[in-house]
Chain A
């Protein structure tokens, strides 16, 4: 019985993230537009964009290799699998034990690895500049992320996200300085990884400042749709991760009744809405920084993660 409900939860989660991801981006864009006193597109615009892209033909550069054509599916799959393993509304995911938080970070790393290679495949300078900056950002973001994982794992005694969420949802945690540092580090990493302001601007084109968009410049049609969808999923994944680790209130733990699932799905969507509002406000209020300021930004995240980990040793109370 438990197995069946776990599988149902797992499937529900995989569908839910797939359905919600474009909506989340749509909401963020809409709020940003309203904050700038623009009308902005409908919150369902990302779905329409995806559908339109899917219907269009692919224009492929003459010297694009098989790697270029495989990459959109590989990155999408890697991000989707990673997103399916982050508990959103319930901890009892059937396949949660197949990959822990470190493996989720590494799965996202795989997705980026292939995307960076695809950026170099056609051999234009835009693709190269995008890939080169993307790996520089990743080279700093990934250690910061892992230190955040260390900090959380040392407190929760596990790198397994279900266990972490259950532990964080219990009353014995309380407020801790090191957890606060880890949260700020995670938010900074999430901004960098999702190519958000102040690290990158998801809305620019044709500028030398862009990173992520330059890397995928040669993509079109369904390939671009898969990559865009992957980016939507990644944003949802990071927000879910922050929610799951630091705000797991109302998350359904093992053995709860069917009604509590409904309540926790509602709570999850509410939390997403709050997060997207905060993200939009933050992005509107901040300016994008120069590319070579990014290492300082991510270095701060790294130091916060390390400090959080070390503070954890100074006293159990931290």
Chain B
């Protein structure tokens, strides 16, 4: 029997081989089918291996390869935490490959995508498997660059080029933070293997600094506010199945990095770490969804909603840190399991929604919701699965999003046990922020689905839309089924997550599958319990009962007629509510503060023939107040340094000489 970690490394090798294959077969017309077919099968194999490793609860397996730095080599390790994230990565990989079989055939320049797609999958797998700092950083950069190449697939579009540039800058910044964090962790001894870092003692100030650096490094990759700016640019710029991977999976790899280092390597946390993560998480959740609400572009809306979900996950991780710092193991396990559950859920429904957005893009060529509408008639299957995704992401029962949100609220309700006053007061406040984010998410996805799929078509392209191919539908339907299954039998997922919580927190939630009727009971039955299966059965039964009685005993007649609309027939589809008008009330409530939104009417003078216009001014304050000043400073110095570029050779030589003398002098004085 080959150890699990070796199997996974073979899968990664196979993925890298597929990259070579993609380059070799780039002239072939079958290259799309070959590449996505291969990555699909490899991802399934890797998924099966990871699931087996997670469920069978085998002890961690390790592997050292003599590549990389000569005195270090490369270490890989597969434990429960890595196995769970490998499940997330490979499930997303398999779904994206399946979707790519259909979506990829419409690609104008497939050779710009095909070689990088398997490489990106391989990179994400490797980050999760890495067991020393050097390998970790190398794989992290590999993953970033592969995804950057995919973002730049359609680089002639100026927006995409800018997205790629911002992404590259932010990714480099994140890696710098990670590099410094590992430097601190390794200490003066400089042992870079995770086992040595885990065994070493870290002073509180060191730990705090590492936490801050991780929030910068992993946080920028995951999309924590205010480091999120690249995400809504880069994720939508990539082809849709890659957007799904970036949003649904790559952000989770960043969360893996955060958990690995802060929970696993750093030793026992301090409660103030929990406070920092809680605040960042809560703020990110609310801000992310407010940005999403204001968005007109369907894929950017989804990208902003990813930021919200990342905030929810981080808030839950912050709760887990706070509980663990106070030795409340069971509550910490509950919060941690809720976070992991949400990681899994988000990878399901966000991939599904990006696939749906891709399907819309494929059949109409539009991402702007204001030019869509009425697609439920033209694309019935896509709109059905997209609806499932919307219900799931809005945290509504009986789907999966609700279960993780519910577990999170149960964890929030454990806050009276915390000894610190700050935490006692802050945890319910963050709970309120999460509740607000959840309610706004529901509003956001009513808008996303309502404007895109319902109503009347707002453009000829939307009117001529056609249902997408079977491969894409298969990928979307399997993810929708997973959303539903994880919602009605959550106990199964919670039990599968228990070895991870046991390994990372040292405690686990009670076994759920023993409870009657497949209920989930986080603490005790008298405190709280939820049964998705029964709720679903009740709703189905009640709805069928009502429908049966009405159709049996009351009228069944239906007459089709023009829409009533209080007698005011509006002849053009442009008169319906658009996305911008739909969020107008919310913009007035929250936007005046958060976006400094101002509405003013541009009224023509009497006699002028042009129409009056309503204008909305909105400002992205984070970009304007934080990033613009930084870029201006950088430009200023770059401009000054630019003069160095055009000197004569004599001046360059004298500069080199002066530098050398200065350094030698410094060395002489220092020692």
| CB atoms of B435 and A146 under 8 A apart | yes
| CB atoms of B391 and A113 under 8 A apart | yes
Q: Does A136 contact B (CB under 8 A)?
A: yes
A54 nearest CB across to chain B (Å): 4
| Docked complex Cα distance between A62 and B377 (Å) | 12
A166 nearest CB across to chain B (Å): 9
A234 nearest CB across to chain B (Å): 14
| CB atoms of A143 and B581 under 8 A apart | no
| CB atoms of A62 and B527 under 8 A apart | no
Contact partners of B424 in chain A: CB under 8 A: 313
- Given the known interface contacts A57-B558, A132-B584, A291-B585, the answer about A125 and B577 at a Cβ–Cβ threshold of 8 Å is yes
| Docked complex Cα distance between A159 and B653 (Å) | 76
Contact partners of A121 in chain B: CB under 8 A: 376, 450, 454-455
| CB atoms of A63 and B456 under 8 A apart | yes
**Which segment of A34-42, A71-79, A194-202, A238-246 sits at the interface?**
A71-79
| CB atoms of A109 and B535 under 8 A apart | no
| Docked complex Cα distance between A57 and B413 (Å) | 49
| Docked complex Cα distance between A150 and B433 (Å) | 13
| Docked complex Cα distance between A62 and B588 (Å) | 34
Contact partners of A76 in chain B: CB under 8 A: 542-543, 546
Q: Interface size bucket, B side? A: 35 or more
| CB atoms of B576 and A310 under 8 A apart | no
| Docked complex Cα distance between A61 and B564 (Å) | 7
- Given the known interface contacts A98-B534, A103-B530, the answer about A110 and B435 at a Cβ–Cβ threshold of 8 Å is no
**Which segment of B37-45, B67-75, B175-183, B392-400 sits at the interface?**
B392-400
Contact partners of B558 in chain A: CB under 8 A: 57-58, 60
| CB atoms of A98 and B519 under 8 A apart | yes
Bitwise, A89-107 to B at CB < 8 A (1) or not (0) is: 0000001011110110011
| Docked complex Cα distance between A316 and B456 (Å) | 57
- Given the known interface contacts A136-B589, A157-B527, A159-B527, the answer about A127 and B577 at a Cβ–Cβ threshold of 8 Å is yes
- From B559, B565, B589, give the contact of A126 (CB < 8 A): B565
Contact partners of B581 in chain A: CB under 8 A: 128, 132
Q: What DSSP secondary structure best describes chain A's contact surface?
A: helix
Residue of chain A at shortest CB distance from B545: A77
A281 nearest CB across to chain B (Å): 30
Contact partners of A291 in chain B: CB under 8 A: 585
| CB atoms of A150 and B583 under 8 A apart | no
Q: What DSSP secondary structure best describes chain B's contact surface?
A: helix
Residue of chain B at shortest CB distance from A121: B454
Contact partners of A13 in chain B: CB under 8 A: none
A23 nearest CB across to chain B (Å): 19
Contact partners of B428 in chain A: CB under 8 A: 147, 150, 154, 306, 309-310
| CB atoms of A78 and B526 under 8 A apart | no
| Docked complex Cα distance between A222 and B405 (Å) | 35
| CB atoms of B439 and A143 under 8 A apart | yes
- From B409, B443, B447, B560, give the contact of A138 (CB < 8 A): B443
Q: Does A7 contact B (CB under 8 A)?
A: no
| CB atoms of A60 and B446 under 8 A apart | no
| CB atoms of A292 and B554 under 8 A apart | no
Contact partners of A139 in chain B: CB under 8 A: 436, 439-440, 442-443, 586
Q: Does B438 contact A (CB under 8 A)?
A: yes
| CB atoms of A132 and B575 under 8 A apart | no
Q: Does B538 contact A (CB under 8 A)?
A: yes
B residues 570-587 with Cβ under 8 Å of A?
570, 573, 575-577, 581-586
- From A78, A113, A123, A126, give the contact of B442 (CB < 8 A): A113
| CB atoms of B555 and A56 under 8 A apart | yes
| CB atoms of A206 and B566 under 8 A apart | yes
| CB atoms of A98 and B555 under 8 A apart | no
Give the interface centre of A59, A139, A217, A226 by most chain B CB atoms within 10 Å.
A139
Q: Does A221 contact B (CB under 8 A)?
A: yes
| CB atoms of B547 and A120 under 8 A apart | no
| CB atoms of B577 and A128 under 8 A apart | yes
Residue of chain B at shortest CB distance from A130: B577
| Docked complex Cα distance between A132 and B429 (Å) | 27
B457 nearest CB across to chain A (Å): 9
Q: Does A289 contact B (CB under 8 A)?
A: no
| Docked complex Cα distance between A135 and B555 (Å) | 32
| CB atoms of A123 and B454 under 8 A apart | yes
| CB atoms of B577 and A113 under 8 A apart | no
| CB atoms of B577 and A120 under 8 A apart | yes
Q: Does B410 contact A (CB under 8 A)?
A: yes
| CB atoms of B436 and A77 under 8 A apart | no
Q: Does B612 contact A (CB under 8 A)?
A: no
B3 nearest CB across to chain A (Å): 43
Q: Does B24 contact A (CB under 8 A)?
A: no
Q: Does B641 contact A (CB under 8 A)?
A: no
| CB atoms of B529 and A100 under 8 A apart | yes
| CB atoms of A133 and B585 under 8 A apart | yes
Contact partners of A60 in chain B: CB under 8 A: 558-561
| Docked complex Cα distance between A143 and B443 (Å) | 13
| CB atoms of A123 and B456 under 8 A apart | yes
Contact partners of B421 in chain A: CB under 8 A: 313
Q: Does A160 contact B (CB under 8 A)?
A: yes
Residue of chain A at shortest CB distance from B433: A143
| CB atoms of B450 and A117 under 8 A apart | yes
B251 nearest CB across to chain A (Å): 25
Q: Does B192 contact A (CB under 8 A)?
A: no
Q: Does B236 contact A (CB under 8 A)?
A: no
| CB atoms of A74 and B539 under 8 A apart | yes
Contact partners of A80 in chain B: CB under 8 A: 542, 546
B375 nearest CB across to chain A (Å): 10
Bitwise, A210-234 to B at CB < 8 A (1) or not (0) is: 0000000110111001100000000
17 CB contacts below 8 A, A to B, read A54-B555, A58-B555, A58-B558, A62-B562, A63-B374, A77-B538, A98-B517, A98-B538, A102-B528, A132-B584, A136-B589, A139-B439, A150-B413, A157-B527, A218-B563, A292-B589, A306-B429
Give 20 A-B pairs besides A76-B543, A305-B432 with Cβ atoms closer than 8 angstroms. Answer: A56-B555, A57-B558, A76-B542, A76-B546, A80-B542, A81-B542, A98-B519, A100-B528, A132-B584, A132-B585, A135-B446, A135-B586, A138-B443, A139-B436, A139-B586, A143-B436, A143-B439, A157-B527, A221-B555, A295-B589
Enumerate the 5 nearest inter-chain pairs by beta-carbon distance, A residue then B residue, closest first: A128-B577, A123-B455, A57-B557, A120-B450, A77-B543
